[in-house]
């Protein structure tokens, strides 16, 4: 029996984009059992954007996928990330460029065994919730330092 490895990724930048808290969420399932569910904050400020967060998210997910010798399906609601990594869209400048380079370096060796597909935001709700959770945690942490 073949195992099925399926992942989702999402990134956000709140309360403003660019310039807010860049956060992400990733989810990886093996035969419908969740094996990775993680969120985090990339950073805060003028060098952060939703595209930075999306690229960090897929890089985190690809790092997890690379631990398995399985074909994988990966879904995300960032048309930019999906189309650039699938070589359909060109890369331009932008805050995300170094994060794209890292994700591409992780994706390229796995390209032959990964199906990377865009999905509407409604089909990525679990990862969207993880990125919102990371934003809430970042705001709580930041408020600890405000007198």
Query: Whose structure tokens read 């409604």?
Result: 122
Residue 147 in any domain: the answer is: no
Confidence (pTM): 0.94
Domain count along the chain: 1
What CATH number has the domain bearing residue 55? 3.30.420.10
Q: Which residues of the chain have pLDDT under 50?
A: 146-147
Segments forming the whole domain that contains residue 28: 5-140
Provide the pLDDT for residue 2: 66
Three-state SS for 63-109 is HHHCCCCCCEEEEECCHHHHHHHCCCCCCCCCCCHHHHHHHHHHHHH
Provide the pLDDT for residue 147: 41
């Amino acid at each position: 029996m073949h195992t099925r490895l399926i992942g989702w990724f999402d990134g956000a930048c709140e309360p403003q984009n660019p310039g807010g808290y860049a956060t992400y969420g990733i989810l990886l399932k093996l035969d419908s059992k969740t094996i990775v569910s993680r969120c985090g904050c990339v950073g805060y400020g003028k060098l952060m954007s939703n595209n930075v967060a999306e690229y960090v998210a897929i890089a985190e997910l690809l790092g997890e996928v690379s631990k398995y010798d399985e074909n994988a399906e990966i879904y995300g609601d960032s048309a930019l990330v999906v189309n650039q990594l699938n070589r359909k869209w060109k890369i331009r400048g932008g805050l995300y460029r170094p994060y794209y380079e890292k994700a591409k370096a992780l994706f390229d060796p796995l390209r032959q065994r990964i199906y990377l597909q865009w999905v509407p935001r409604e089909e990525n709700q679990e990862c969207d919730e993880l990125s919102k959770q990371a934003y809430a945690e970042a705001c709580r942490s930041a408020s600890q330092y405000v007198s």
